[in-house]
Structure 1
Amino acid sequence: MSTITLRIDDKLDAQLKRLSKRTGRPKSDLIREALRRQLALTQFEKLRQTVAPFAEAKGWLTDEDVFRELS
């Protein structure tokens, strides 16, 4: 496992400490989870941009269009 040093402002640190205390989870766990979510979101957005032209060609312009087709 790698170690990363991260500098955050006092306000963000206070929010992180409160969440850690409320959930009983270490700050490092919360940061790892947030990073995983952000990386997944970034990958999802990239994939969405890749497939968007194909979806539009089929007339799928919104998420509802896709759901309707798949339901």
Structure 2
Amino acid sequence: MSTLTVRLTEREERDLQLACEQTGKTKSEVVRELLAESLRGYRLRTALQAAHSELGPAARQAGWLTEDDILRDVS
């Protein structure tokens, strides 16, 4: 396990303290959980972007609607 030092704004510190009080967890526990959750989301977004880059052109060529097609129509 390693140590990480993070500089927080006053608001972030208040929010973190509130989360600790509400959950009964330490600052380290709350931050580790939030970081793990954020990293899972990051990995998922990265994987989806890679799949989209690889499969998107073939899907459009096959006539399938892609996320980009739907989002462009909404704009």
- 1:23 maps to what in 2? 23
Q: What percentage of aligned pairs have identical amino acids?
A: 26
Q: Match of 2:66?
A: 61
Q: Which residue of 1 aligns with 2:48?
A: 48
Aligned length: 62
Q: Which residue of 1 aligns with 2:5?
A: 5
Structure 2: 5+ residue stretches without partners: 68-75
TM-score (norm 2): 0.71
* Unmatched segments (≥5 aa) in structure 1: 63-71
- The CA distance in 2 between the partners of 1:5 and 1:54, in whole Å, is 40
Which 4+ runs in 1 deviate beyond 6 A? none
Distance apart, 1:4 and its partner CA: 0.8
Q: Which residue of 1 aligns with 2:72?
A: none
- CA displacement at 1:49 relative to structure 2: 0.9
Computing the radius of gyration over CA atoms, which structure comes out larger, 1 or 2?
Answer: 2
Aligned counterparts of 2:28 and 2:43: Cα–Cα separation in 1: 22
How far apart, CA to CA, are the structure 2 residues paired with 1:11 and 1:38? 20
C-alpha distance in 2, partners of 1:12/1:32?
A: 15
Instruction: Work out the CA distance in 1 between the residues paired with 2:47 and 2:65.
Output: 15
* Counterpart position of 2:35: 35
C-alpha RMSD over aligned residues = 1.8
